[in-house]
Chain A
Amino acid sequence: MIWRMVGQRLALGALVLLAITVVIFGAIELLGADFAQQRLGQSATEETLAALREQMGLNRPAWVRYGAWIGGAVRGDFGVSMANNRPIADLMAGRLGNTLFLAAFAAVMSVPLSIGLGLLAALWRNSWFDRAANVGTLTAIAFPEFFVAYILVYLIGSTGLFPTLASIPPGATFLERLHVTFLPALTLTLVVTAHMMRMTRAAIVNLLASPYIEMARLKGVPRARVIWRHALPNALSPIINVVALNLAYLVTGVVVVEVVFVYPGLGQLMVDAVRTRDVPVVQAAALIFAAVYVILNLLADVLSTLSNPRLMHRR
């Protein structure tokens, strides 16, 4: 049952990705820029331009070039960077690893924190704790990321405990990496916590009027146990989905934070590529970001299903 569903969702995810590749490729086509001209500059002669177009395959029809791009992408070959002629796959491998490391670090801090805060806020509804948690997380989300980042740099960076430049020296150990990336990870945590916390609280509070919650109280179950054991298992599906969305954001939305902390991640690479009009790199990065969204949402669907006995155990 569950495998059939996973299969269906995988197929659907692949379809979505395919549609995204068309959008990415189409958007770049619409720009209508002459990449040969851009690389060689205004002074290039007509002959050298023609030769370069031939070499880059720009003379071929759009669908042939699209086919070549997709064909390469599925084999992990995204072509070469126009800026430095290095294979894009090599260029991105290390960057993607860095981005995922930072995202994972922020997730490990923010997910338990926000779900824990959400549960406590639901337990002590309308108390000072509930209000403080709401105001605190909303304040954090209301400020732009770079502002939060600079505030942290100012407050914590000045103590010298954590570096404000998150450049990773070659051969850094795991602990060193954690140390270096602490401030960007904390920034991201502050940015995503409010959303997940409020969703957790809302999902739980929404269930508290259910007859089975009243039944639990009438069995003498203490409040904390009512929340933890009777409400939370039924609130998992919305919580899982909002967590997945935020994890996707942690991978794809970190551009600004990476720039502030000069962190060698995928976002920085994409920003640089846009600046230098390195189109193949932009395409590849966009495709990877899209794939992260699709995969995380697929994972959320599967986990929601696993958390629902009605779907797992048929009559």
Chain B
Amino acid sequence: MAGSLLLDMRDVHIEGRSGDAWLPIVKGVDLQLHRGEVLGLIGESGAGKSTLGLAAMGYVRGGTRISRGEVTFDGTDLVTAPESFRRGLRGKRIAYVAQSAAASFNPAHKLIDQFCEAPVMHGVLGRGEAERQAVDLYRRMRLPDPEGIGFRYPHQVSGGQLQRAMTAMAMACKPDLIIFDEPTTALDVTTQIEVLAAIRDIVDQSGTAAIYITHDLAVVAQMADRIKVLLRGDEVEEAPTREMLASPRQAYTRSLWAVRSHRRPEQPPAREAPVLEVRAVSAGYGAVKVLHDVSFDLHRGRTVAVVGESGSGKSTTARVIAGLLPASRGEVRIEGRPVAPSFKARPKEELRAVQLIHQSADTSLNPKQRVREILGRPVAFYAGMSGAKVEARVRELLRMIELEPDSFIDRLPGELSGGQKQRVSLARALAAEPRVLICDEVTSALDQIVAEGILKLLDRLQRELDLAIMFITHDLATVRAIADGVVVMKGGRVVDEGTKADVFTPPHHPYTELLLSSVPEMDPGWLDRVLEARAARA
């Protein structure tokens, strides 16, 4: 099935400027791609996947440069070719599909205008033909209302639909090569499966070659003929998909395969009264009702995972419990006592009982404050300490989150890695000595190995401090690893609830079934099987 050689990248070195020095990002990678072939490029963040993918278009981001090597596309070296030549290829013979379609569509223009731009500009199609082509591709990407959807603005279209519209846009000039840069990472699992299916079908039908960049092995297993593994700008290994999945040769690759080895031991069912009770809570923003009649319990020393798609009301529930969004009906009880709906009306004792950790440590830590201040403030506020006692407590907190106090206490958030930032967020919550810890997607933005470290830490702290944890996530693998109880939410309602065993053992609630069956598996035949099964049922 592989045709003639289309892309030949040899000994590609890419550097990024840091102050006056140039630091290597990609360190001499070779990459060959034949016509009609799909290559999967995987690795953790910082591995140089996107940088390499863009270099295949002869494109480098600001502050980076290709310092050595060749990128030969269909016989021409793009590194030495003039910019006008490269520009002539982009969008016409090599197209790009970005990670976040919501951010990569221009908010000021309608979808179809953005679709038509490249074919009209490159002189491939007239405007009328391009519009007909758009409708045809929208239909083939299984977008609803293919005739009309192009005349909407990006903000009027959902994320999954935008991602398909972007793939359609990439196909506009029938390119020889498409670079897919994490096209489904930002999507819910139930949406991801539709987009994956649509992308794979259109790539198969058109016979275009593709580089598929992702950090998700199960996804790449569905899409790629071959897989290349990158680590910190170096190639680890490359092999045909089935071979790679069956017998990875390198230790690093095997470690990627073995993620989520962490499993929390089963806890016996709790006997005492729940520490947190959410009772028939309804809430909304203005006239828009987001939560309807949500109820569940949380016990000391136990973890309840709240799962659901984006927009299902998971984070809103957390905000109601924390008092950031007062409930319009129902009540929240802590240790049996109802608490005020708004945090403003809660006494300090109730405030310290519930602590919230946000998804993005980047935006929830003040970049101008040092770790000492970030942790010192809640210590002083909640525990009423001052002076040397605060410092001692901050150091104790840092040891609890496994960061060496001497080297971390005076750092700014900018001097911490993603995982370290999230640990500091965790310490800030612990500074209040809470009863209930709400973790809102705290591992979603992290690489799997880093995320696993955080999960293990949470597990240890929970045992030591007898914490009740509400863990919000959309990742079912995480749920399997850490949860005692599971609450499944959809459209602001709790649709399924129970112990982990109850929820994950058939027979499932239909929506839980949909969620579970949408999680990609390593088996390359998984996508076909799921689609067949769903078609058979429909």
Number of A-B contacts (CB under 8 A): 74
A309, B155: Cβ atoms closer than 8 Å:
yes
User: How far is it, in angstroms, between the C-alpha of A209 and the C-alpha of B62 when the chains are bound?
Assistant: 9
A4 at the interface (CB under 8 A from B): no
CB distance from A89 to the nearest CB of B (A): 45
Binds A, one of B96-104, B374-382, B455-463: B96-104
A220-B121, A309-B155 given; A211·B103 CB < 8 A = yes
Task: Given A211-B103, A212-B105, verify A315-B156 contact (CB < 8 Å).
Answer: yes
Please, which residues of chain A bring their CB within 8 A of the CB of B152? 313
Contact of B153 among A214, A221, A222, A310 (CB under 8 A): A310
B100 touches A219 (CB 8 A): no
Q: Contact: B104 with A220, CB < 8 Å?
A: no
A225 to B87, CA, bound (A): 13
- Residues of chain A contacted by B155 (CB below 8 angstroms): 309-310, 313, 315
Verify B104–A211 contact, CB threshold 8 A.
Answer: yes
Q: CB distance A221 to B96 under 8 Å?
A: no
Q: Are A220 and B122 in contact (CB under 8 A)?
A: yes
Chain A residues within an 8 Å CB radius of B117: 216, 219, 221
B90 interface hit (Cβ, 8 Å)? yes
Q: Say whether B98 contacts A220, CB under 8 Å.
A: no
Q: Is the CB of B104 within 8 A of A215?
A: yes
What B residues does A218 contact at CB under 8 A? Answer: 54, 57, 59, 90-91, 95-96
A81 within 8 A of B: no
B128 CB → nearest A CB, Å:
20
Among A209, A211, A218, residue most surrounded by chain B Cβ atoms (within 10 Å): A218
| A-side contacts of B118, CB under 8 Å | 219-221
A285-315: which residues lie under 8 A (CB-CB) from chain B?
A: 309-310, 313-315
Please state if A313 and B153 are interface contacts (CB–CB under 8 Å).
Answer: yes
Q: Is A230 an interface residue (CB 8 A)?
A: yes
A 193-209 binary contact with B (CB < 8 Å = 1; else 0): 00000000000000001
**Given B54, B59, B96, B106, which contacts A230 in the complex, CB threshold below 8 Å?**
B106
Alpha-carbon separation in the docked complex, A209 to B95 (Å): 20
- CB < 8 Å: which of A214, A219, A313, A314 contacts B91? A219
Within 8 Å of chain A (Cβ to Cβ): is B109? yes
In the complex, are the beta carbons of B156 and A220 less than 8 A apart?
A: no
Q: Roughly how many angstroms separate A175 CA and B244 CA in the complex, as a whole number? A: 81
Contacts of B61 in A (CB 8 A): 214
Does A159 make an interface contact (CB < 8 A)? no
Q: How far is the CA of A144 from the CA of B396 in the complex (A)?
A: 60
Q: Does B88 count as interface, using CB distance less than 8 angstroms?
A: yes
Chain A residues closer than 8 Å to B57, beta-carbon distance? 218
Task: Write the nearest CB–CB distance from A236 to chain B, whole angstroms.
Answer: 8
B117's closest neighbor in chain A, by CB?
A: A219
CB < 8 Å: which of A212, A216, A221, A315 contacts B107? Answer: A212
- What is the chain A residue whose CB lies nearest that of B113? A229
Contact between chains at B90 and A220 (CB < 8 Å): yes
The CA of A314 and the CA of B157, in the complex, are separated in Å by 11
- Nearest residue in B to A230 (C-beta to C-beta)? B106
CB–CB A219/B153 < 8 A: no
A221 in contact with B108 given A211-B103, A215-B98 (CB within 8 Å): no
Tell me the bound Cα distance from A220 to B96 in angstroms.
11
Closest B residue by C-beta to A210: B103
Any A CB within 8 A of the CB of B89:
yes
Nearest to B61 among chain A residues (CB) is: A214
Distance to closest chain A CB from B120 (angstroms): 11
Q: Is the CB of B107 within 8 A of A309?
A: yes
For the complex, what is the distance from the CA of A219 to the CA of B62, rounded to whole Å? Answer: 17
Nearest CB to that of B110 among chain A residues? A309
Given contacts A221-B121, A310-B155, contact A216 B106 (CB under 8 A): yes
Contact of B103 among A212, A222, A233 (CB under 8 A): A212
**Cβ of B88 and Cβ of A220 under 8 Å apart?**
yes
Q: Quick check: B59 and A309 within 8 Å, CB to CB?
A: no
Complex interface: chain A residues within 8 A of B49 (CB): none
| Least CB distance, B66 to chain A, in whole angstroms | 16
Give bound CA distance, A285 to B126, whole Å: 58
| Structural contact, B91 and A220, CB atoms closer than 8 A | yes
Is B92 an interface position by the 8 A CB rule? yes
A179 proximal to B (CB < 8 A): no
How far, in whole Å, are A315 and B109 apart by their CA atoms in the complex? Answer: 15
Judged by a CB distance under 8 angstroms, whether A234 is at the interface is yes
Could you tell me the distance in whole angstroms from the C-beta of A55 to the nearest C-beta in chain B? 57
Q: Which residue of B lies closest to A315 (CB)?
A: B156
Give the residues from 14 to 30 in chain A that come closer than 8 angstroms, CB to CB, to chain B.
Answer: none
Q: Are A211 and B107 in contact (CB under 8 A)?
A: no
Q: Are A211 and B100 in contact (CB under 8 A)?
A: yes
Given contacts A211-B98, A313-B153, contact A219 B90 (CB under 8 A): yes
Chain B residues, Cβ within 8 Å of A315: 155-156
Q: Does A217 contact B (CB under 8 A)?
A: yes
Of the A-B pairs whose beta carbons lie under 8 Å apart in the complex, a sample of 7, sorted by A's number, is A211-B104, A212-B103, A212-B104, A212-B105, A218-B59, A219-B91, A220-B92
Interface residues in chain A, defined as those with a beta carbon under 8 Å from any beta carbon in chain B: 209-212, 214-222, 225, 230, 233-234, 309-310, 313-315
Question: Top 10 nearest A-B pairs by Cβ distance?
Answer: A219-B91, A233-B108, A220-B90, A220-B91, A211-B103, A218-B96, A215-B104, A212-B106, A219-B118, A211-B104
Q: A310-B155, A315-B155 are in contact. List 16 more A-B contacts (CB 8 A).
A: A209-B62, A211-B104, A212-B103, A212-B106, A212-B107, A214-B61, A214-B98, A215-B96, A215-B105, A218-B54, A218-B59, A220-B92, A221-B91, A230-B106, A309-B153, A313-B156
